[in-house]
Chain A
Amino acid sequence: AQKVTQAQTEISVVEKEDVTLDCVYETRDTTYYLFWYKQPPSGELVFLIRRNSFDEQNEISGRYSWNFQKSTSSFNFTITASQVVDSAVYFCALSGRAGGTSYGKLTFGQGTILTVHP
């Protein structure tokens, strides 16, 4: 079975601090995809970043960067110079072909509530 664990329930930082959100996953698939989503108070899940299991190159996109390590099954997400507008719930998600089902189902972590104070 697939599983995603976000050990940090809540994080509180002051504006301009860097913050890293942790994500650990479990899967038997050799091909899988990882995602980070942001959920502001409006409720909509906003797609942020993605990574496939064959590409461990870490990337930076604006203030976002991510660190994917297959050896530790981790997919951590960092926001640099956080802003108040970054306050939201952040979800890590995984998709794969476990159990014979094809992609089309995301397994989400429990979410991390990020509060950025001015």
Chain B
Amino acid sequence: KAGVTQTPRYLIKTRGQQVTLSCSPISGHRSVSWYQQTPGQGLQFLFEYFSETQRNKGNFPGRFSGRQFSNSRSEMNVSTLELGDSALYLCASSRDRGGSYNSPLHFGNGTRLTVT
């Protein structure tokens, strides 16, 4: 069974630009979550999508948005990039709502975003 696939693996953008990251969950998984990982703040929850609806949102500004498609694939968008947005963005999928005992999160390799 293929794991969680994130594209692209690496991105370099300039301040003020916008970026879209893509995530394909494990086949049969209906929930997709996004996390930001930085050396200073560690792993922080961005949002969770289930059945094409955002179910949970972390404490990030409105520049961070996402969506989920009918095939459970998800995209994350960051507009008006700032230097502080440089991070590893991890996508995770789970069969049902993520984070429960019977539905642990399975993560992808991440997209490394560098903002210059």
Residues of B contacting A108 with CB < 8 Å?
42-43
- Complex CA–CA separation, A7 to B71 (angstroms): 41
Main secondary structure of the interface of B (DSSP, over half): strand
Given A43-B88, A91-B43, A111-B42, check contact A104 B97 (CB 8 Å).
yes
Q: Which of B17-25, B61-69, B74-82, B105-113 is found at the contact surface with chain A?
A: B105-113
Residue of B31, B33, B99 touching A33 (CB-CB under 8 A): B99
- Complex CA–CA separation, A19 to B106 (angstroms): 25
Closest A residue to B46 by beta carbon equals A105
**Taking the nearest CB of chain A, how far is it from the CB of B106, in angstroms?**
6
A45 near B97 with CB under 8 A, answer no
- Complex CA–CA separation, A44 to B109 (angstroms): 4
- Complex CA–CA separation, A105 to B99 (angstroms): 6
Chain A interface extent, by class: 20 to 34
Digit string of A53-81 for contact with B (CB within 8 Å is 1, else 0)?
Answer: 00000000000000000000000000000
Residue of B42, B43, B97 touching A102 (CB-CB under 8 A): B97
**Taking the nearest CB of chain B, how far is it from the CB of A90, in angstroms?**
12
A25 at the interface (CB under 8 A from B): no
A105 near B101 with CB under 8 A, answer no
A11 at the interface (CB under 8 A from B): no
- Complex CA–CA separation, A103 to B95 (angstroms): 13
Residue of A37, A44, A103 touching B100 (CB-CB under 8 A): A103
B48, B99, B100 pick with most chain A CB within 10 angstroms: B99
Residues of A contacting B99 with CB < 8 Å?
33, 95, 103-106
- Complex CA–CA separation, A112 to B77 (angstroms): 30
10 contacts between A and B (CB under 8 A): A33-B99, A35-B105, A42-B109, A43-B109, A45-B92, A47-B105, A52-B101, A91-B43, A106-B99, A108-B43
- The 7 closest A-B CB pairs, nearest first, are A95-B99, A45-B107, A108-B43, A103-B99, A104-B48, A104-B56, A52-B101
